[in-house]
Chain A
């Protein structure tokens, strides 16, 4: 088994509702969804965020989309216009969750090693040039 950051297994998006941030985590491969279900428990996610999330963590499952939705209560310093946080609307809590380490079989770790991050040698000067339709 190997420990790897979630960023190689899933993509994510986050948003806000008042003082609660939501993070939707979507497995790149449907085959890896059970791994997420098993390891991204509400208590494990709460532990991952530590002092960043003052309230409880709730989890909801969207198996058709091989996705999990987390509600992080008390994460936004009051939220919206009240919050003093740079990320007052929780827009990048998604990537904060993708730092979390999960345990996977060695073969999975090897297969997803380059998933989720820009490839070596990628050049921002050429971003978006492969126009298609």
Chain B
């Protein structure tokens, strides 16, 4: 294949639940070559496992299907290829639903969908433990056996290779499970520019581009603190577009006429988001050095990124494991002036005393005053007497589901049996939620990579 010299990779979703119109704006608002959409967060996989347990056809980001029904004909028409991890724990089910979409919109076999499978190791977990992979917790070092019987999902973060394989197989839409967020953006670069596994600096540049794309509008003005009050037209905020060159430099921009802004400031905020040690940003394909990033303004809403260095990949892949770890619930009530905070604090004391008298035991009980200390905690000192209103927020967590259930029945009674001037309970009882705790682990590549499969079929 002839290698292209310049490609435009547009971000369409930053998480499952993001602006549903954003991908449509990316397709309709100007020329792009790829549309990449990230749907998965750490907790998402366990939710999807539960959905698939109830319905074998479920377990992927359902919003993706009606979205594709809107944009797939235009994407095929204009040669825009879609790369997404919307497949969740069921890329096959997602791909099958896409075939249905193709039929409904009358594509008649003019498009191809690729699906990547093999990241899901839940069914292989016992065999892997048997073979000596202890999947120890990355921070505590505890072996997975400690929580094995409560594991709900286990997925390996995959790099770009299977996505590149699907693109080489002619896929117009590539659906994966737990691919890394950044791989969705740099896999097209590897495919188009022919980068090899030893092109560390260029791969690292791709990772930085992926990091800038992966949270949608967070790099183009969304959630940006810098001069936020001056941002134009946020109701149609432009999502980021990476204009990538084969040498590993790229420009961050957005479509003309969209809202938001692209500056060194907005891009810098996204670069530091969820950052650990910036000199070692570890991915399945390369270790990127974020301290090497250089940003230059290149006209309105254009920031050039260059100078990025990287080092060889490690022998390990990261595994995202979720396990059931008890129950929690959070209840709220609103107290009004005068002495709003004092009333809320007194109500919290009454509530705690009632929980004690009922003999309920929790691992944690937490009281916050929304409107005073729920975000800046002890930094704000005691609340002033003249707060117009404050919301009392009490949460509990523990192993005993019945105790958490009972807690949810102790909020409403405070309305008639506690301090006065209270309202805001119309939402009913708090919901009991099962806690899905996160267990990050490492696994050797060779235990996973031979099990990956890539299928490309007509839509």
Residues of A within 8 A of B (CB): 11-18, 22, 24-26, 28, 48-52, 60-65, 67, 69, 71, 77-82, 84-87, 92, 94-96, 99, 118-119, 122, 127-133
Question: Which of B229, B364, B397, B435 has the largest count of A CB atoms less than 10 A from its CB?
Answer: B229
- Asked if A86 and B328 make an inter-chain contact with CB atoms under 8 angstroms apart, the answer reads no
- Asked if A127 and B229 make an inter-chain contact with CB atoms under 8 angstroms apart, the answer reads yes
- Asked if A62 and B378 make an inter-chain contact with CB atoms under 8 angstroms apart, the answer reads no
A89 to chain B, nearest CB (A): 9
A67 to chain B, nearest CB (A): 6
Which of A64, A119, A122, A128 is the one whose CB lies under 8 Å from B231?
A128
Question: Which of B232, B364, B366, B377 has the largest count of A CB atoms less than 10 A from its CB?
Answer: B377
- Cα distance, A59 to B377, chains bound together (Å): 22
A residues in contact with B293, CB < 8 Å: 62, 64-65
- Asked if B438 and A24 make an inter-chain contact with CB atoms under 8 angstroms apart, the answer reads no
A residues in contact with B375, CB < 8 Å: 86-87, 92, 95-96
Given contacts A60-B279, A84-B395, contact A22 B376 (CB under 8 A): no
- Asked if B364 and A94 make an inter-chain contact with CB atoms under 8 angstroms apart, the answer reads no
- Asked if A81 and B275 make an inter-chain contact with CB atoms under 8 angstroms apart, the answer reads no
- Asked if A18 and B438 make an inter-chain contact with CB atoms under 8 angstroms apart, the answer reads yes
Which of B278, B366, B376, B436 is the one whose CB lies under 8 Å from A69?
B278
- Asked if B368 and A24 make an inter-chain contact with CB atoms under 8 angstroms apart, the answer reads no
- Asked if B437 and A17 make an inter-chain contact with CB atoms under 8 angstroms apart, the answer reads no
- Asked if A118 and B229 make an inter-chain contact with CB atoms under 8 angstroms apart, the answer reads yes
Residues of B within 8 A of A (CB): 42-43, 139, 223-226, 229-235, 256-259, 265, 268-279, 290-295, 300-301, 307, 325, 328, 330, 364-366, 368, 370, 374-379, 393, 395-397, 433, 435-438, 440
- Asked if A26 and B377 make an inter-chain contact with CB atoms under 8 angstroms apart, the answer reads no
- Cα distance, A69 to B274, chains bound together (Å): 10
- Asked if B43 and A80 make an inter-chain contact with CB atoms under 8 angstroms apart, the answer reads yes
- Asked if B377 and A96 make an inter-chain contact with CB atoms under 8 angstroms apart, the answer reads yes
B residues in contact with A99, CB < 8 Å: 376, 379
Given contacts A49-B379, A77-B366, A128-B235, contact A69 B230 (CB under 8 A): no
B residues in contact with A81, CB < 8 Å: 43, 433, 435-438
A77 to chain B, nearest CB (A): 7
- Asked if A130 and B440 make an inter-chain contact with CB atoms under 8 angstroms apart, the answer reads no
- Asked if B271 and A65 make an inter-chain contact with CB atoms under 8 angstroms apart, the answer reads yes
- Cα distance, A49 to B395, chains bound together (Å): 22
B14 to chain A, nearest CB (A): 12
- Asked if A24 and B277 make an inter-chain contact with CB atoms under 8 angstroms apart, the answer reads no
Which residue of chain A is the closest to B257 with respect to CB atoms? A133
- Cα distance, A29 to B334, chains bound together (Å): 42
Which of A52, A64, A67, A79 is the one whose CB lies under 8 Å from B379?
A52
Question: Which of B42, B226, B258, B275 has the largest count of A CB atoms less than 10 A from its CB?
Answer: B275
Given contacts A86-B368, A94-B225, A122-B229, contact A128 B259 (CB under 8 A): yes
- Asked if B370 and A86 make an inter-chain contact with CB atoms under 8 angstroms apart, the answer reads yes
- Asked if A13 and B223 make an inter-chain contact with CB atoms under 8 angstroms apart, the answer reads yes
- Asked if B139 and A24 make an inter-chain contact with CB atoms under 8 angstroms apart, the answer reads no
Closest 8 CB pairs of A and B: A24-B272, A84-B395, A15-B274, A86-B374, A84-B366, A13-B269, A11-B226, A52-B377
- Cα distance, A97 to B256, chains bound together (Å): 35
A residues in contact with B300, CB < 8 Å: 132-133
Which residue of chain B is the closest to A48 with respect to CB atoms? B379
- Asked if B232 and A69 make an inter-chain contact with CB atoms under 8 angstroms apart, the answer reads no
Given contacts A11-B226, A92-B375, contact A79 B272 (CB under 8 A): no
Which residue of chain B is the closest to A129 with respect to CB atoms? B232
A residues in contact with B374, CB < 8 Å: 85-87
Which of B233, B291, B307, B376 is the one whose CB lies under 8 Å from A95?
B376
B residues in contact with A51, CB < 8 Å: 377-378
Which of B231, B291, B397, B436 is the one whose CB lies under 8 Å from A84?
B397
Which residue of chain A is the closest to B228 with respect to CB atoms? A118
- Asked if A13 and B378 make an inter-chain contact with CB atoms under 8 angstroms apart, the answer reads no
- Asked if A18 and B139 make an inter-chain contact with CB atoms under 8 angstroms apart, the answer reads yes
Which of A62, A92, A96, A130 is the one whose CB lies under 8 Å from B272?
A62
Pick 21 A–B contacts, CB within 8 A, sort by A.
Answer: A11-B226, A12-B225, A22-B272, A22-B273, A24-B275, A50-B378, A51-B378, A52-B379, A60-B279, A60-B291, A80-B437, A81-B437, A82-B437, A84-B396, A85-B366, A96-B376, A96-B377, A118-B229, A127-B234, A128-B233, A133-B257
B residues in contact with A84, CB < 8 Å: 328, 330, 364-366, 395-397
- Cα distance, A25 to B328, chains bound together (Å): 33
- Cα distance, A14 to B129, chains bound together (Å): 36
Question: Which of A11, A14, A49 has the largest count of B CB atoms less than 10 A from its CB?
Answer: A11
- Cα distance, A132 to B263, chains bound together (Å): 14
- Cα distance, A24 to B269, chains bound together (Å): 7
- Asked if A11 and B265 make an inter-chain contact with CB atoms under 8 angstroms apart, the answer reads yes
- Asked if B379 and A132 make an inter-chain contact with CB atoms under 8 angstroms apart, the answer reads no
B residues in contact with A129, CB < 8 Å: 232
A115 to chain B, nearest CB (A): 9
B365 to chain A, nearest CB (A): 8
- Asked if A13 and B437 make an inter-chain contact with CB atoms under 8 angstroms apart, the answer reads no
A residues in contact with B438, CB < 8 Å: 18, 79-81
- Cα distance, A128 to B437, chains bound together (Å): 40
- Asked if A63 and B436 make an inter-chain contact with CB atoms under 8 angstroms apart, the answer reads no
A10 to chain B, nearest CB (A): 9
- Asked if B274 and A22 make an inter-chain contact with CB atoms under 8 angstroms apart, the answer reads yes
